């Protein structure tokens, strides 16, 4: 990939980016490498520093910046990982710093080379935004809503119509005005109105593919219990076949935790702290519930159901206004259960950076960009939609032979992952959709899956700070060697077998 020349270049005129969340911020960075001036149009008031914004309601939920997103951000904003950790983001090696209950049992805490940066979403955006605010080429136009595109001659776009928020005017908005631009990016997220904007100019709206697993999140922030000591930083209790509820605890800046319970298949969500605790207790292992009992809630429990995988096939449209691009969730939105949205946004900005470096804003760029974006996002899309379908098929006894075989093979990888760090890494990569599905067929993974685990899956979480000696929560059950379950103490006699 082309290495961006930060702050260099110039000469291609004025770009307008609509939306200042992850996709908009990273696109603005890529454009600033080539354009004379970049204007970021944002409907919300944009705070200085971390602050809640109406336009990014998902910011209340647990956000992990996965390995690939960190690497991409570092290319766009050299030193950004250090900035994020200086601001309080927590670096969590996976699964070394985590207690991770896979579909078949606890994963060994070996070094896999994978990690996440864990922080409040407002903080992540604020640190990136600060970098852009320091760039003299970039201007933020706060409290301005984009409402339409300005067409030019021969299938081009020459600007964006915006209206300023004006609380004194009936309706809350001033009269719209035009911002001229040589390049326009729509990064307005799942609610993007680009299909309507295009239709108003006589273009065909894109065909959409939707894969919805009915995933829903309930999230609350907690202060750690006083005197909390642990040899881990985060918890992830993944669903298993027949038990589609996931629990996670991510560390946040300021010694806080973001805790989410994620349900599938349109099930009901907890709406208060008592409900969240009950949901944590019903997970495959009581650890999250036990840890939370001593923690102090710092805000309400928020829910989110807008989680479907949705791809708007802009890449397939034949007629298109050149110098216009849609990216981020507005182009392809992923089920957040895999934590991929920010990675996709960063990768899209890198595609933009690369294409501008190769072709400038020459005629035909729009076509090339749409194709290149689709190509870049396709592997993550395939993995994410396959996982969404599998979540449904798990419940479907009439699933076909191919589905049943794939399900069985994945179950073998998950079983091997409880003993084999290489299989554990492959499992994590597949879960993060950070690797193509072919990862599952790498010789070492294949061998581990076919051989099966070296012994029974550990039934105790791999920690010395939360377990039998620290917390006897349930009566100890007698060891059950006949079931091949217990090679470790049975403190946590599970509510359901892992």
Ligand X SMILES: Cc1cc2nc3c(=O)[nH]c(=O)nc-3n(C[C@H](O)[C@H](O)[C@H](O)COP(=O)(O)OP(=O)(O)OC[C@H]3O[C@@H](n4cnc5c(N)ncnc54)[C@H](O)[C@@H]3O)c2cc1C
Catalog residues that contact ligand X under the rule CB under 6 A: 18-24, 41-44, 55-56, 58, 61, 63-64, 69, 145-146, 187-190, 217, 304, 307, 328-330, 336, 339-343, 345
Q: Is 415 helix (H, G, I), strand (E, B) or coil?
A: helix
- Rounded Cα distance, 218 and 239, in Å: 15
For ligand X, the closer of residues 347 and 419 by Cβ is: 347
Token pair for residue 436? 């193509």
For ligand X, the closer of residues 176 and 228 by Cβ is: 176
For ligand X, the closer of residues 341 and 458 by Cβ is: 341
Q: Which candidate, 126, 59, 70, places its Cα nearest to that of 94?
A: 70
Burial of 242 (C-beta count, 10 Å sphere; 0-12/13-18/19+): exposed
Q: At what angle do helices 67-76 and 341-359 cross, to 10 degrees?
A: 40
For ligand X, the closer of residues 189 and 270 by Cβ is: 189
- Closest approach, Cβ 265 to ligand X, in A, equals 16
The pair phi, psi for residue 144, each rounded to 5°, is -125, 130
- Closest approach, Cβ 21 to ligand X, in A, equals 3
For ligand X, the closer of residues 145 and 315 by Cβ is: 145
- Rounded Cα distance, 193 and 182, in Å: 20
- Closest approach, Cβ 231 to ligand X, in A, equals 24
The strand pairing partners of 247, in sequence order, are 237, 261
Q: Where are the beta strands (DSSP E) in 134-293?
A: 138-141, 144-152, 156-164, 177-180, 183-186, 208-211, 216-223, 234-237, 246-252, 256-263
- Rounded Cα distance, 79 and 73, in Å: 9
For ligand X, the closer of residues 63 and 412 by Cβ is: 63
- Rounded Cα distance, 63 and 302, in Å: 14
- Closest approach, Cβ 10 to ligand X, in A, equals 25
In our burial notation (b when 16+ CB lie closer than 10 A, e otherwise), range 360-373 reads ebeeebbeebbebb
- Closest approach, Cβ 430 to ligand X, in A, equals 16
- Closest approach, Cβ 191 to ligand X, in A, equals 6
- Closest approach, Cβ 405 to ligand X, in A, equals 31
Token pair for residue 328? 């981020």
For ligand X, the closer of residues 41 and 448 by Cβ is: 41
Token pair for residue 89? 């983001």
For ligand X, the closer of residues 172 and 484 by Cβ is: 172
For ligand X, the closer of residues 286 and 339 by Cβ is: 339
- Closest approach, Cβ 262 to ligand X, in A, equals 8
Helix and strand element counts for the chain (H, E): 12, 22
- Closest approach, Cβ 301 to ligand X, in A, equals 13
- Asked if residues 311 and 335 have their Cβ atoms less than 8 Å apart, the reply is no
């Amino acid at each position: 990939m082309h290495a961006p020349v930060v702050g260099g270049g110039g000469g291609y005129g004025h770009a307008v980016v609509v939306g200042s969340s992850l996709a908009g911020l990273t696109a603005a960075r890529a454009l600033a490498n080539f354009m004379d001036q970049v204007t970021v149009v944002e409907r919300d008031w944009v705070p200085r520093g971390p602050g809640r914004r109406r336009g990014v309601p998902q910011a209340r939920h647990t956000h992990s910046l996965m390995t690939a997103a960190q690497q991409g951000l570092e290319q766009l904003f050299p030193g950004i990982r250090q900035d994020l950790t200086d601001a309080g983001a927590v670096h969590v090696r996976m699964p070394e710093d985590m207690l991770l209950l896979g579909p078949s049992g606890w994963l060994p805490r070996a070094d896999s080379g994978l990690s996440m940066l864990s922080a409040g979403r407002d903080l992540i955006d604020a640190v990136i935004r600060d970098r852009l605010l320091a760039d003299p080429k970039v201007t933020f136009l706060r409290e301005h809503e984009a409402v339409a595109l300005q067409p030019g001659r021969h299938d081009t776009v020459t600007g964006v119509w915006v209206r300023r928020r004006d609380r004194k005017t009936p309706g809350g908005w001033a009269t719209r005005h035009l911002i001229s631009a040589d390049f326009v990016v729509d990064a307005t997220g799942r609610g993007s109105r680009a299909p309507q904007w295009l239709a108003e100019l006589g273009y065909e709206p894109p065909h959409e593919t939707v894969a919805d697993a009915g995933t829903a999140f309930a999230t609350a922030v907690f202060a750690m219990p006083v005197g909390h000591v642990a040899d881990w930083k985060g918890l992830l209790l993944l669903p298993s076949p027949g038990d589609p509820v996931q629990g996670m605890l991510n560390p946040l800046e300021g010694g806080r935790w973001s805790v989410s319970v994620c349900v599938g298949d349109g099930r009901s969500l907890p709406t208060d702290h008592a409900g969240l605790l009950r949901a944590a207790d019903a997970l495959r292992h009581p650890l999250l519930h036990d840890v939370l009992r001593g923690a102090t809630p710092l805000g309400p429990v928020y829910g989110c159901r807008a989680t479907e995988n949705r791809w708007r096939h802009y890449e397939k449209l034949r007629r298109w206004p050149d110098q216009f691009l849609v990216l981020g969730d507005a182009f392809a939105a992923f089920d957040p259960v895999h934590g991929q949205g920010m990675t996709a946004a960063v990768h899209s900005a890198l595609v933009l950076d690369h294409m501008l470096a190769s072709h400038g804003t020459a005629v035909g760029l729009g076509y090339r960009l749409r194709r290149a974006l689709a190509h870049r996002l396709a592997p993550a899309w395939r993995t994410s939609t396959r996982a969404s379908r599998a979540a449904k098929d798990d419940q479907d006894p009439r699933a076909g032979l191919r589905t049943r075989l794939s399900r069985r093979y994945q179950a073998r990888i998950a079983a091997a992952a409880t003993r084999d760090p290489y299989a554990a890494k492959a499992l994590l990569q597949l879960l993060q959709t950070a690797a193509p599905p072919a990862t599952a067929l790498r010789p070492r993974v294949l061998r581990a899956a076919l051989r099966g685990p070296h012994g029974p899956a550990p039934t105790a979480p791999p920690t010395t700070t939360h377990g039998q000696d620290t917390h006897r929560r349930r009566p100890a059950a007698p060891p059950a060697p006949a079931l091949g379950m217990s090679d470790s103490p049975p403190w946590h006699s599970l509510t359901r077998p892992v």
